[in-house]
Amino acid sequence: MSAIWGTLSFNHNISSSSIDETMRIHYTAKCKLDRIETASTENCYFACGIQHLTDEAKHEILPIYDRDNGFIITADCILDNRTELLDKLNISDNNIPDGTIIYHAYLKWRNDAFSKLKGLFSIAVYDKNNKQLILASDHMASRCLYYYRHANGITFSTLLAPMLKLHPEIQPNKLYYMDYLKAPGLIPKVIGTETPYTDVFAMPPASYAVFSANSSDFKQYWHPSMEQDKFKCKTPAEYLDTFKEVMHDAVYVSLRSCGGTGILLSSGMDSLTVGTLAATELARGNKPLNTYTYVPVTND
């Protein structure tokens, strides 16, 4: 898993060195990154702040600039269906990094690749031949990806703060704050893609967007209703067994890590259930589950 950021101009050259300096300073201060890699053309700059959360991530190469096929790709990702993808892509190297798998998937399927990925991811692709920027989010938009369409092109970023530093002209979104003040403590949801800043938006879930100089085209590649046929059971007991199986698989696949595993544990049944399943699985390998929770501090 990583953080990604970048900017491009559809009509002008850019100074990638000055952009890199501005963005790198803020990401280094805000994120625990193991390394930062970049790729650029005369009008495009892509970056990836890589975290070595898995053994495969230690060998991650992102962004990838495929000069022969005319595109740059970067990704913030942890894939859950690695085995399935390796089989479909005829890749025999089980240690290949997740980002490289995504590169091969995009090379084979182009924009259809996003619907074949499962896990946590946000992806950016610059199609140099067609002069397009493609941004994609995972099924739940778990890895946030913000974008800002400005006069010269588009900037995207995992974090908002570096984007604001690069574009000081960005103004607060008054509608967003008005919505928040009507219900303090709740996340404003006037529009699902709204942010606290005008003209800065978040990528919607299960979607990808194709940006060109004069257009923006959004497509949704998945919806929960598409899964209905996969979970049709005849009895309540069958539904319970199916739920348990899906729940177990979802928890177990999230434990892929080269270090320790932790969980934010509340007093609710949801995190308690996830924690119980995770602790049971980790115990098989004599590994602990580190838990963290919020304890109010009083003056009594």
**Res 165: pLDDT:** 95
Three-class secondary structure of residue 256 per DSSP: coil
Structure tokens at 122: 């946000």
Measured distance CA(92)–CA(89) in Å, rounded:
9
Averaged pLDDT in 10-residue chunks for the chain of 300 residues: 93 93 94 96 97 95 97 97 97 97 98 97 97 97 95 94 96 87 65 88 97 96 90 92 94 93 90 95 95 81
Torsion-angle region of 200 (φ positive above 0: left; ψ -120 to 50: alpha; else: beta): beta
Residue with tokens 């390998």: 285
**63: DSSP letter:** S
Q: Contact, 66 vs 125, CB < 8 A?
A: no
pTM over 0.95: no
* Token pair recorded at residue 151: 């006069």
Tokens 């059971």 correspond to 233
pLDDT score at 190: 56
pLDDT of residue 157: 98
Residue 35 in 3-state DSSP? strand
Please give the backbone phi and psi of residue 134, each rounded to the nearest 5 degrees, phi first: -115, 125
In sequence order, what are the residues at sequence separation of 6 or more whose Cβ sits closer than 8 angstroms to the Cβ of residue 35? 49, 50
| List of residues 6+ apart from 156 with CB closer than 8 A | 4, 5, 6, 7, 124, 133, 135, 145, 146, 147, 148
Regarding beta strands 44-50 and 2-9, do their DSSP bridges make them parallel or antiparallel, or are they unpaired?
Answer: antiparallel
* Residues shown for the chain: 300
What is the DSSP secondary structure assignment for residue 51, as one 8-state letter? -
Q: Helix or strand or coil: residue 278?
A: helix
Distance CA 243, CA 231 (A): 9
